Amino acid sequence: MDAQEIIGRRVARELRTGHLVNLGIGIPTLVANYVPSDIKVFFQSENGLIGTGPIPEQGLAHPLLTDAGGRPISALPGASTFDSAMSFGLIRGGHVDVTVLGGLQVDAEGRLANWMIPGKMVPGMGGAMDLVSGAKRVIVAMQHAARGKSKIVRKCTLPLTSSRTIDLVVTDIAVIGFPDGKATLMETAPGLTVAEVMAVTEAELVIPDTVPEMTI
């Protein structure tokens, strides 16, 4: 199982029937592929849709039905469409139960930086700041490290996405939560020891008495 699949499968286990879920681009998008069939969630696309379905078959795509990246999607029975004011009313108003976003850095207190690398092109924050500020639960799904450097850092050096802290980080090697506002190792990826995770994590981690392996 590759790193992205581990992350996608583990995040999917956080979803419950009835949840309204918003998935960011990149790894978060994969989560939809791993939702167990007995769990019925609503996926929101922030361009104005609840009830996103899979990519339509060849020849069935409709030009006015796309995801937030402009790619064709389908809509499940019971879907609803709305304008952008409603879409972000849902997001900022706490109606999104879970948002899953990519990350550049998450720090020891749960702050997220995911929209800007100073000195590089700034494409804009899109809906990320609203999602992190407003969703009931924020899960970051990302590789644990980039080019050998831990993305779980002591303190974010990149510009923050929100002053609101996130709830959970799922990486290819660990699940980290923030009880009492401190990064805490909740689970390790199959086959990895606590010490191995700590060794590749810049932030200091609180280590509970028992740290189970991820079930994926």
Q: Which residues are catalytic?
A: 46
CB closer to another protein out of 3 and 82: 82
Where does 95-211 have alpha helices with state H? 128-134, 194-199
CA atoms of 179 and 122, how far apart (whole Å): 33
CB of 190 to another protein, least distance (A): 33
N-to-C CA span, the chain = 10
CB closer to another protein out of 93 and 190: 93
| Contact criterion met (CB below 8 Å) for 117 and 74 | no
CB closer to another protein out of 121 and 199: 121
Kindly list the residues in this chain that would bind another protein in the complex (CB under 8 A). 18-20, 42, 45-51, 62-66, 68-70, 75, 77-85, 87-95, 97, 116, 121-130, 133-134, 159-164
CB closer to another protein out of 19 and 144: 19
Backbone angles phi, psi at 23, to 5 degrees: -105, 130
184: CB partners within 8 A, 6+ apart? 176, 177, 178, 205, 206, 207, 208
CB of 34 to another protein, least distance (A): 21
CB of 68 to another protein, least distance (A): 7
| Contact criterion met (CB below 8 Å) for 132 and 159 | no
CB of 200 to another protein, least distance (A): 28
